[in-house]
Amino acid sequence: MNVRLAERIIEKWASANAGAIGLDPNHIQASYIYNPGGFGNLSLRLSDGCTGLHVKLASPDRSERLQQWAGVSGYLAEHYAAPKLVHRIDREIVEGYPYGLVFEYIEDAVPLAKAPNPEAILKGVIETASKLHRDGILRGMLPEAEARTYADAFEDEYISRLTEDLEGIRASRELLRDFVSDETISWFGEEIGRLRETVRQTPAFGLPARDVVHNDLNGNNVLTCGKDGFRIIDWDDLSGQGDAAMDYSVMLWPVKHDPSWPIWREKVLAAAGVAVTERLELYFRAKLLDDVIDVLADYVESEGVPEHREEAQRRAKAVHLRSYPQYLAQYGAG
């Protein structure tokens, strides 16, 4: 992907559609938003010097998720501090991205991951997530597939993705050879299988999955605003048949090894119950394995974004080399 070309194309499109999106056509600038967590979507900030907008374009395999978000965007903005939808893009503007959405850009916000005092905000996020997980109105607005269990939801969120990551890692083996051995790659596949079997054998995962979940409540998708305010972005993985434990695990991952963790665990127990806290432990295990394997897929994918390749690969390598020995120390080699 040529980032500079994408910026110019979006600027041209925005100027032609300035009236529809509320910008001054004569002063529009587009800037690529770097996402260290992956390169599946293309995000850019648009500005005319006064108003800012966030453009998110989806690849073909992600378009349906953005369309779902668009369908419930008004409800999410009203009840869950989501950004307001400004415009839908129903045609391919940048090659390879057939669908997109334009949202308000949340100015002067700091990601929760970088906030100086995240604990106060985190309490509010837990309360909001708890309300989301039980929201029957929103569940009724979302598409429903055949009934599934929490084990199925876990496989969708982690096992399938890690398996796909592993295929990409094997296909691009030479890129990783200087710091990932053949034995390690073989272990990846074995450990994914062990994790899957452990989940399938855990009774708490056999219950029906009916939670409404964001599915990616990490510290970069919660933006702090003012003293105690926050906004929640990136709702394209929203599901009405998910697991609340997934949201809590991603949200609370930064405090999992903090001395304050027992306090946060009690908050989850009070908000969600015993079964969720039981599943939470295996989600934490999967999250750490994600930091071992998925970051290597990011390392490979960054080859397609030369402008950010060096930074992305440096980060991915560091996360992998830190997380792999940590995983072995906590869960063993098998």
Which CATH number does the domain housing residue 302 bear? 3.90.1200.10
Where does a domain end: 107, 122, 153?
107
63 plus 146 within the same structural domain: no
Q: Does residue 38 have a pLDDT over 70?
A: no
Pairs from 315-318 (Cβ < 8 Å, separation ≥ 24): 315/36, 317/179
Domain that includes residue 261, residue range: 111-331
Largest Cα separation within the chain, whole Å, is: 61
**What pLDDT is stored for residue 37 in this prediction?**
66
80 plus 149 within the same structural domain: no
How high does pLDDT run on average in the chain?
95
172 plus 212 within the same structural domain: yes
Instruction: State the angle between helix axes of 160-171 and 182-200 in degrees (0 to 180), rounded to the nearest 10.
Output: 170
C-alpha span between 44 and 47 (Å, rounded): 10
45 plus 136 within the same structural domain: no
98 plus 121 within the same structural domain: no
Which residue has better confidence, 334 or 153? 153
191 plus 302 within the same structural domain: yes
How many secondary structure helices (H) and strands (E) does the chain include? 13, 10
190 plus 244 within the same structural domain: yes
Q: pTM for the full model?
A: 0.94
Query: Distances from the Cα of 225 to the Cαs of 166, 217, 230, in angstroms?
Result: 38, 16, 5
- Give residue-wise pLDDT tens across range 126-170: 999 999 999 999 999 999 888 999 999 999 999 999 999 999 999
**What pLDDT is stored for residue 39 in this prediction?**
66
136 plus 184 within the same structural domain: yes
